[in-house]
Amino acid sequence: MQSDEPSRPGSRVDPWRGHYAARAAGMVASEVRALFAVASRPEIVSLAGGMPNVAALPMDALGALMAELVAERGAVALQYGSAQGDLGLRETICEVMAAEGIDGHPDDVVVTVGSQQALDLVTRVFVDPGDTVVTEAPTYVTAIGVLAAYQANVVHVAMDDAGVVPEALAETFARLAREGRPAKLFYTVPTFQNPAGVTLTEERRPRVVEVCRRAGVLVLEDNPYGLLHLDADKPLRALRADAPADVIYLGSFSKTLAPGLRVGWALAPAAVREKLVLAAESAMLSHAVFNQLAVDRYMRTQPWPEQLGNFREMYRERRGAMLDALEKYMPPGVSWTRPAGGFFVWVTLPEGLDSKAMLPRAIQSRVAYVPGTGFYANGDGRQAMRLSYCYPPPERINDGVRRLADVIGAEVRL
């Protein structure tokens, strides 16, 4: 019901609350976002956010190429462009994906505002309210947000240290079909998963795709971290590489270059790609041309593989600092994953501990993390938390984990 009270400036009463579409009820602030304000206080070691360390970028070179871009191609860079994205950039994107075994055509690439928008567009064109989307448990927090906004019914499937379990996936698809709510999409982050830090093994990859194909479920492969491999000397083969008709692949320059540029993409089977372009057109008319051309120029003129190598070196050192500190300080009964790339470690607490209830005490001890519940659509995850090693330098990571271990130790003793 709408209030009769006139709304005063600054009033918390929303006179329009009776007007919202039903889908707005699913739009709530994620736990990660709510944490950011607190975690950014300088005295707190934030192991919460997944912010890449952009300070390591060659800022002078980036500034120079942006100035050149305006001087040389300003009339194009500052004009409207197409909703599919700049062709030159789409060619570059195909070269980037080739490293993961993907033979993509620029016509099948849609440039998006980060891969987040690709996630939104795919959901918009495939998911009606009540449709079932299957995801790993746990899964990327903002994917849950997008799915909630489109009123999807999210069903989780278990993972182990080798990624999603193909048998569990097949059983879930069969059960959902029997219940009359068959899955439409399987959303997966198979490589260096956010939040679990787990990677789907090479052995399981074809089996997972086959399970989806048999069940008639479209795979949505979200892969922003694939090039940040910290152990292997080359990236893993993407799911999309061997199943171009069954997989929509999402990529991003956010983790390999800069999230502030907001350039990501979807590679989709041709018919799907046409729908995505139409959806993109209605969402934003044209992509930010300047940002696309800046990314493309960066990729074509800068020693990108070397810069990526520097990123890997930095994240490898930070991951080492986190895993060493966990080993050194955590009390018995705490376990964690050992990521082979990406940004995240998933920590499981001893039986009976609640990471959400513990968070205020951790903040008091000047360390922040993300409670596990944010990564489940069904309230699970209380006994777990996500730690990220991408942003603080190694000494801070060590201090943060030590403080966290003290907080957990005190809870265990309670």
Tell which one of 136, 222, 296, 411 touches ligand PMP (CB under 6 A): 222
Is residue 372 near ligand PMP by the rule CB under 6 A?
A: no
Tell which one of 69, 110, 183, 189 touches ligand PMP (CB under 6 A): 189
Amino acid code (one letter) for 44? I
In whole angstroms, how close is the CB of 357 to ligand PMP at the nearest point?
25
Count of CB atoms situated within 10 Å of the CB of 232? 10
Cβ atoms of 168 and 207 within 8 Å: the answer is no
For ligand PMP, the closer of residues 50 and 85 by Cβ is 50
Please report, for residues 77, 111, 220, 277, the alpha-carbon distance to residue 106 in angstroms, rounded to integers and kept in the order given: 20, 10, 19, 13
In whole angstroms, how close is the CB of 343 to ligand PMP at the nearest point?
8
Is residue 221 near ligand PMP by the rule CB under 6 A?
A: no
| Per-residue mark of binding to ligand PMP, 111-130 (x: CB under 6 A) | ---xxx--------------
Is residue 136 near ligand PMP by the rule CB under 6 A?
A: no
How many separate helices (H) and strands (E) can be counted in the chain? 12, 14
Is residue 311 near ligand PMP by the rule CB under 6 A?
A: no
Is residue 191 near ligand PMP by the rule CB under 6 A?
A: no
Stretch (H or E) spanning 291: helix 289-301
Size of the site for ligand PMP (CB under 6 A): 13
Residue nearest ligand PMP, Cβ-based: 114
**% helix, strand, coil for the chain, step of 5:** 45, 15, 40
**Half-sphere exposure of 86 toward its Cβ, with a 13 Å CA cutoff?**
23
Which structure tokens are listed for 146? 């997008």
Dist. CA 194–CA 32, nearest whole Å = 13
Nearest to 150 by CA among 283, 285, 21, 284: 21
In whole angstroms, how close is the CB of 252 to ligand PMP at the nearest point?
3
Is residue 163 near ligand PMP by the rule CB under 6 A?
A: no
For ligand PMP, the closer of residues 219 and 330 by Cβ is 219
Within 242-271, the residues that bind ligand PMP by CB under 6 A are 252, 254, 259, 264
In whole angstroms, how close is the CB of 251 to ligand PMP at the nearest point?
8
Look up tokens 């930070």; give the residue: 318
Dist. CA 29–CA 176, nearest whole Å = 29
Dist. CA 279–CA 203, nearest whole Å = 36
For ligand PMP, the closer of residues 194 and 291 by Cβ is 194
| Per-residue mark of binding to ligand PMP, 38-77 (x: CB under 6 A) | ------------x---------------------------
DSSP code for 20: -
DSSP code for 235: P
Is residue 194 near ligand PMP by the rule CB under 6 A?
A: yes
For ligand PMP, the closer of residues 176 and 295 by Cβ is 295
Give contact residues for ligand PMP (rule: CB under 6 A): 50, 114-116, 140, 189, 194, 222, 224, 252, 254, 259, 264
